[in-house]
Chain A
Amino acid sequence: MSDNLSADVVVIGSGVAGALVASELAAAGASVLMLEAGPRLERWRIVENFRNQADKDDFQRPYPAAKHAPHPEYAPDNDYLILKGPDAKSYASQYLRVVGGTTWHWAASAWRFLPNDFTMKSTYGVGRDWGIGYDELEPYYYRAEVELGVSGPNDGTDLGSPRRQPYPMDHLLLSYNDQRFYDVLNANGFKLVSEPVARNSRPYDQRPTCCGNNNCMPICPIAAMYSGIIHVDKAERAGTKLLTNAVVYRLEVDAQDRIVAAHYKDPDGNSHRVTGKYFVLAANALESVKILLMSATDKWKNGLANSSDQVGRNLMDHPGTGVTFLADEPLWPGRGPMEMTSIVDHRDGEFRREWASKKLHLNNQVQTRHATLKALSMGLTGKALDDEIRYRSAHTVNINSFHDILPEPDNRMRLSDQKDALGLPRPEITYQIGDYTKKSAVHTHEAYAKIAELFGCREIEFSDSFAPNNHLMGSVIMGADPRDSVVDGQCRAHDHANLYMATSGVMASAGSVNCTLTIAALSLRIADTLKQALGKAS
């Protein structure tokens, strides 16, 4: 059916990265073919799936994994990711193989990295340098903010990432919960800020203002929050041809080491081949690695783009800890979007030589359900039950964190011997969290205790074991030296002149903030590079 399709640019993956590349290039007049392993899901269907599911904490559940393109499911566990190593459970990541990708469910936090995040080795003597600096990326950060629709504090708040333009939208007014935290924490030595988010504070890009449906994860019912699907739609309107349920399992390379074709399987297992001038691998940090490793040839025994042996290594995330307690005043989390503020006093500084930077964030998620489960577990009934639900819904505080982690070659993904339904290998991950991160988590624990004290806490519960935060980085790491990195500063494979990688896998440091805006900025830069190469630059 789709055999012999050909395009200027073949984009593999339809998440925020692939969709941005495709929409930019198609709008510039290039022919673009986008291949997505999973199916198309409609927003209304996802919302109904969520409303009808029993476990409302399972953000993967509204997106049932396709048999031919499984993604991780944990309740029950479908064992798609094979996790090994001392901290295996801390890499039990969530991502989606569906049209639009994983930004269907995210908190929409749209942070820029800090200048020092790009130069960890030369500034602090740990980790790696990216080979590019913040200044090179700054114009693309802004373009990404315009494309995604980012609202942020235009009141002069310094978030440490210098900017030339104001945020495209001013930030939403803080919820009462967030405002109380703002007042109390900033008066007591913490730095709590209104965070930049890809969420509308006014009608923007034909999408409505956030109405506080409080369901950013797992699905914004009204598209006030940005998702990759927005640019999938734009890409298709601009002429991109999107093939769904097309599971790429091999890139074909010629004698000059150029990629000439992508081979994919349909759900019935039949193989198809598409060709192009340029290839953009945008299938997320793990699935992109899978494709490179599955494409091994006699010449490229360790997989494509892998002369450095770094493909699949240096896996990073933001190991998270948390705390939950009851405040002595009603704060009523759950009014407004799920997250509005962050504590940023340890994102940068000389301490990064010794321990990990981090960001803490106040959860503004509705607590009704958790309050009810707790009240029921206490055996309450009648008026006492209703009173307890109301009290806990009003007084529960939950704070979580992202910690930096250093890129370590032994934290890696390989192809497992175990196969999925199409006979393709499943990702096997080995993961260990080092002392650099653990030291910081001890400090975070103390910060939680201080904050709890400021709110006269009862029933404090620390979650000190590291939780995954699904920010998959490092697997196709960027660097100036082809001997120890996979892509160059343009996200181009050192080994293949026409292969680009639009994924958080290229990120050479994890920093302390969500990686989506950086992926978006890098993807827009790839689009510019390819426009030049194709003679389509305006």
Chain B
Amino acid sequence: MSTHDRDGAVHAGDAPAMPTRRRLLIGVGLAAGSLALSGSWGRSALAQSAAGAETAQSANFLTLSHLLTGRAQLDARQGERLFAALSASDKNFAAQVTALADFARQGSFSDVEKLASVLDAQRPELAKTLRRIVAAWYTGVVGDGPNARAVIAYADALMFQPVKDVLMPPTYCQAAPNYWVAKPPMA
């Protein structure tokens, strides 16, 4: 018995079920991602025609996540899992994602820091949702205390990216012994 086995949400990611749908989702995610880059919020017609409302929401979540994390590259499957976990922990989550996406689109925000500071002043409840989404992508974890679940594949959590030239996610080694002796970057 392992932590992994006990966590339905985590384990589901390893289940071999519905490969066709998964492939489809990844395609949708990438498509939605490229739309996001061109600033076309919410026009995920492709997603809607492909797999229904739930998939469209998940794709919208991924599109929004590109803005909130400042990253053009996000894994669609991890996004799907995060959306499912965040939705499961908060029944209003999907509606908040829509509201947040609408707000961002209407203000033509291209920078999350700017968006966050405007939301802090005008829509604090959406600012909170924004930070929940950012925290989930960065830590890979959704929920608190005993309800916390690791949702993103461990080494894919975004927190490792700002330091990836110096530090590795613990358990991994991608350098030779004694690499640690050399002087690291001073900034």
Chain A: which residue is nearest B139 at the CB level? Answer: A372
- Count of A interface residues, CB-CB < 8 Å: 58
A54 to chain B: closest residue by CB: B148
Contact of A55 among B112, B148, B183 (CB under 8 A): B148
Min C-beta distance of B78 to chain A, whole Å:
14
Confirm or deny: B130 has a beta carbon within 8 angstroms of a beta carbon on chain A: yes
| Chain B residues positioned under 8 Å from A393 (CB to CB) | 162-163, 166-167
Assess whether A75 is in contact with B184, with CB atoms less than 8 Å apart: no
A175 on interface, CB distance cutoff 8 Å: yes
Q: How far is the CB of B128 from chain A (nearest CB, A)?
A: 10
Residues of A within 8 A of B162 (CB): 386-387, 389-390, 393
8 Å CB interface, B157-187 against A: 159-163, 166-173, 175-187
| List of A residues within 8 angstroms of B170 by Cβ | 56, 213-215, 334, 365-366
| Inter-chain contact A214/B168, CB cutoff 8 Å | yes
Closest Cβ of chain B: how far from A297's Cβ, in Å?
37
Question: Is there contact, CB below 8 Å, between A176 and B182?
Answer: yes
CB pair A213 B173 closer than 8 Å: yes
Q: Min CB distance, B16 to chain A, in Å?
A: 18
Q: Does A449 contact B (CB under 8 A)?
A: no
One of A12-20, A42-50, A100-108, A312-320 contacting the partner: A42-50
Residues on B with beta carbons closer than 8 Å to the beta carbon of A51: 150, 154-155, 171
Which B residues are CB-close (under 8 A) to A219? 171
- The reply to whether B139 and A48 form a contact with Cβ atoms under 8 Å apart is no
Q: Are B112 and A381 in contact (CB under 8 A)?
A: yes
A373–B113 Cα gap in the complex (Å)? 18
**Once the chains are docked, how many angstroms separate the CA of A385 from the CA of B160?**
12
- Contact pick for A336, options B143, B150, B171, B180, CB 8 Å: B180
Residues of B within 8 A of A113 (CB): none
Contact B131 A376 (CB under 8 A): yes
Task: Tell whether A172 is near chain B: CB-to-CB under 8 Å.
Answer: yes
Across the interface, do B181 and A174 meet the contact criterion of CB distance under 8 Å?
yes
A75 to B149, CA, bound (A): 13
* B178 and A173 contact, CB distance less than 8 A: yes
Among A56, A176, A369, A385, the one with the most B-chain Cβ atoms within 10 Å of its Cβ is: A385
Known A48-B4, A50-B171, A213-B172; judge A175-B180 contact (CB<8 A).
yes
Distance between Cα atoms of A39 and B186 in the complex (Å): 47
Contact with A376, one of B135, B150, B169, B182 (Cβ below 8 angstroms): B135
A61 near B3 (CB under 8 angstroms)? yes
Is the beta-carbon distance between B3 and A176 smaller than 8 angstroms?
Answer: no
Q: Is the CB of B41 closer than 8 A to any CB of chain A?
A: no
- A122 at interface, CB cutoff 8 A: no
Contact A379 B171 (CB under 8 A): no
B138 at the interface (CB under 8 A from A): yes
> Interface 1/0s, chain A 370-389, versus B by CB < 8 A?
01110010010111111101
User: CB of B134 within 8 A of chain A?
Assistant: yes
**CB atoms of A332 and B167 under 8 A apart:** yes
Instruction: Write the chain A residue with the least CB distance to B6.
Output: A64
Are A212 and B70 also in contact (CB < 8 A) when A334-B167, A368-B160 are? no
Give the contacting residue for B4; candidates A52, A335, A368, A394; CB below 8 A: A52
Q: How far is B150's CA from A47's CA once the two chains are assembled, in angstroms?
A: 14
State the Cβ distance, A86 to closest chain B Cβ, in Å: 27
B113 x A335 contact (CB < 8 A) = no
A332-B166 contact given A174-B181, A368-B160, A381-B112, CB 8 Å threshold: yes
Closest to B144 in A: A54
Q: When the two chains form the complex, which single residue of A52, A175, A335, A390 contacts B3, counting CB atoms closer than 8 Å?
A: A52
Residue in chain B with minimal CB distance to A66? B1
Closest to A76 in B: B146
- Taking CB atoms, residues of chain B closer than 8 Å to A222 are 173
A-B contact pairs, 19 of them (CB 8 A): A49-B3, A52-B150, A179-B181, A212-B168, A330-B186, A332-B166, A336-B180, A368-B163, A372-B139, A376-B135, A376-B138, A376-B139, A379-B116, A379-B120, A381-B130, A382-B116, A383-B70, A386-B70, A390-B162
Instruction: Give A residues with C-beta under 8 Å from B.
Output: 45, 47-56, 61-62, 64, 75-76, 172-176, 179, 209-215, 219, 221-222, 329-330, 332, 334-336, 365-366, 368-369, 371-373, 376, 379, 381-387, 389-390, 393-394
> Which 8 residue pairs are nearest across A and B when measured between Cβ atoms?
A336-B180, A335-B180, A54-B148, A211-B173, A372-B159, A51-B154, A175-B180, A386-B162
19 extra interface residue pairs, beta carbon distance < 8 Å, beyond A75-B145, A176-B180 = A45-B2, A48-B4, A49-B4, A54-B141, A54-B149, A55-B148, A64-B3, A64-B6, A175-B181, A212-B168, A368-B160, A369-B159, A372-B139, A376-B135, A376-B138, A381-B70, A381-B130, A384-B113, A389-B162
